[in-house]
A and B are shown apart, each in its own frame.
Chain A
Amino acid sequence: MRPLRIVHLYPHEMNIYGDTGNVVVLRRRLEWRDLPVEIVPVGVGDDLPGDVDLILGGGGQDAAQGEIGEDFQRRGPELRAAAADGVVMLAICGAYQLLGHEFNTSAGTRIPGVGVLDVVTNGSGTRLIGNHAVDSEWGRLVGYENHSGLTTLGGEATPLARTVPGRGNDGKDGTEGCVQGNVFGTYLHGPVLAKSPRFADELLRRALTRRGDSGDLAPLDDALALQAAEVAAKRPR
């Protein structure tokens, strides 16, 4: 069986607190099931490899988003083609914003996105920071949000999860993250997959079935992860 090929986009520039952990989580969950996996780091100037099954992108500092901006633009057509082809993507925070149409910073700069996700982000003066637990189709998602951009979903994107007002995408509408086909965006760092094992397996299942493998995943012992999620959900912001 060809290893499941996971691209880690901009591992050096976009790696605020633990986003790399999502790569670790997916890799191990495959290895624990004896499914072969290959991680391909893709940095500025590198080409995307062929036969990509899953793409992960993390959050970065404002300066890092500037450094990768042009390179990310260049990848636009390729990323849009991959998304149309059903490649599974998980984008956290900064990568989530850049996969959208645009990010208008509070300083008045327009940073164009690549339009894979039908979302628009506008900078704001306040930062949404804190522990965050939200309910999705794939169980509770638990992480830590830290962003000043407020994201609005267009008609093509559906919310990833429901939250209480005052947090999540725009701090108002009670949604967190988005889903569009096999592309997922979220503001949850943490990394989100560590304490949201059902969601992690959903990404793997989609990637495996897309390329024609069985999506039947052997169950894993996730008692610790669920315990950690329960504690995190009870921690005040």
Chain B
Amino acid sequence: MAMLPVVTGKLALAGLRLLGRSGNALPGLVVERLFPRYLARTLAALPHGVVVVSGTNGKTTTTKMVAEILRQRFRVLTNDTGSNFVRGTIGAAVSSSTWTGRLDADVAVFELDEAHAVRFVERYRPERVLLLNVMRDQLDRFGEIDHTARLLQRVASAATVAVGLNRDDARIAAIASAIDAQPVWYQVAEELRHLFPTDEELYGGGSRAARASDGAAAELVAWDAEGTTIRIGETQQTFPLRASGAHNAQNATAAAAIASTFDLSPDDIFQGLRAVEPAFGRGQSFEIDGRDVSLHLVKNPAGFRQSLAAARVEDPARICIVINDDDADGRDVSWLWDVDFTGLADGVPVSTAGVRAADMAVRLRYDGVEAAAVDAALAPAVDRALTATRPGERLLIFSTYTAMWGLHRHLVARAKEVRA
């Protein structure tokens, strides 16, 4: 019976609410400790099993996309609070269950961080795994990127039905030879490949490896002002994707590929993708006193470069970069030196904030960008940038993970309108 663990978890959740806090991580941790078999037993009862989404960049948004697609036909359980450790999946299951322990879901879609994905598959063999990319990230935790790739390979080997694989990332593509489940490929069109450099290419190395071009379940055919064009099998559609940036068009293609292994038509899949809103802090925008403010999460060099590239298209009036260095951000801020900021040198005013505001300002200075204000305190820094932005203009905020929660609250409190 799942009643006791669920009741325990729900009581922990209720206790947290009384303390004015939210989140699934702590109740998940309590249940994980007290009832180690709860997760496997609960998930085994799902008729359509579990999809695990992992990789360095794009997990949260892609998980949201897969869940939205599957919602066209199924009841979906997902850890959409961004809590991507095992305890987050348990917390999600607990809060979606009735007090008697019944879970009304057909399928689960879980975002899991690379190390926790390994811990997850040790307890529950997922039917499907979707792998996005391997970039250098949190090397203070993972040591090196090849180690991260080996973690993902272990996760993929656990899948029983299908593994979605990115054909444009050599480390991900190589995992195909190590799996028993069916490989399901997704890729971008040849002429778009320059938009998605692999880790090697980002660091100036490696010519682009040749890759097979046929047999992909989903392909990103085009991405431009007209919209995002994705081909699923023989069916192709162009549609506006609300989550901006080329990387999100690639994430949508990944989601489409793994979704195609369910009993869903391409139309179901496109329908789901059209409905997806951007995830928390991934390009969400706010209207504050007539100014358009958007918030972008940055946490590693590849992601920061993608966000800068996407932002430049939108022609910002002012930029504020917020860098913290707590555990969830990565303790090592060396990675800021692997982002190229020289493109900002053309006069867009930039300010920095967060614990490592000075580090960020030093980095900018060496790329020829003088940061106007350097401030450890987040809200005053953002308010100053807001005041300096004229009505009708855009303020872009790039922020690491731990700073984002406070910033998000602050922006919501000040916003007249929160746009998806």
Contact = CB atoms under 8 A, between A and B. Distances in A.
Interface of A: 11-13, 15-18, 20-21, 24-25, 28, 61-63, 127, 129-131, 143-144, 146, 189-191, 194-195, 224-225, 227-228, 231-232, 235, 237
B198 to A, nearest CB: 12
B124 interface: no
A25 B361 contact: no
B190 interface: no
Contacts of A130: 140, 331
Interface in B361-377: 361-363, 365-367, 374
B205 A18 contact: no
Contacts of A237: 331
Contacts of A232: 333, 356, 359
Given A12-B204, A194-B363, A224-B365, A231 B355 contact: yes
Interface in B252-284: none
17 contacts: A12-B203, A16-B139, A17-B332, A17-B334, A18-B337, A20-B203, A21-B363, A62-B146, A131-B332, A143-B334, A194-B337, A224-B358, A225-B362, A231-B356, A231-B359, A235-B355, A237-B331
Interface residues of B, number: 32
B146 A146 contact: no
A121 B287 CA distance: 57
Interface string B336-364: 11100000000000000001101101110
B368 to A, nearest CB: 8
B127 interface: no
Q: Which residue, A16, A129, A227, has most C-beta atoms of chain B within 10 A?
A: A16
Give the top 10 A-B pairs by smallest Cβ distance, nearest first: A12-B205, A21-B337, A18-B337, A18-B334, A228-B358, A17-B334, A227-B358, A61-B144, A228-B359, A144-B332
Contacts of A17: 136, 139, 332, 334-335, 337-338
A16 B205 CA distance: 13
Contact of A24 (B203, B331, B355, B366): B366
A121 B138 CA distance: 25
B63 to A, nearest CB: 27
B325 interface: yes
A55 B239 CA distance: 52
Contacts of B145: 61
A190 B144 contact: no
Contacts of B336: 18
Contact of A28 (B355, B356, B358, B366): B366
A63 B146 contact: yes
A24 B367 CA distance: 8
Given A12-B203, A25-B366, A228 B356 contact: yes
A11 B358 contact: no
Nearest to B326: A235
Contacts of B233: none
Nearest to A227: B358
A139 to B, nearest CB: 16
A116 B140 CA distance: 29
A31 B143 CA distance: 34
Contacts of B315: none
Interface in B20-45: none
Contacts of A62: 144, 146
Contact of B200 (A12, A24, A144, A224): A12
Interface string B195-221: 000001001111000000000000000
B131 to A, nearest CB: 20
Given A24-B367, A232-B333, 10 more contacts: A15-B203, A15-B204, A16-B136, A20-B337, A24-B337, A61-B146, A144-B331, A146-B143, A195-B359, A235-B325
A146 B337 contact: no
A156 B79 CA distance: 57
Contacts of A28: 366
B203 A224 contact: no
Contacts of A195: 359, 362
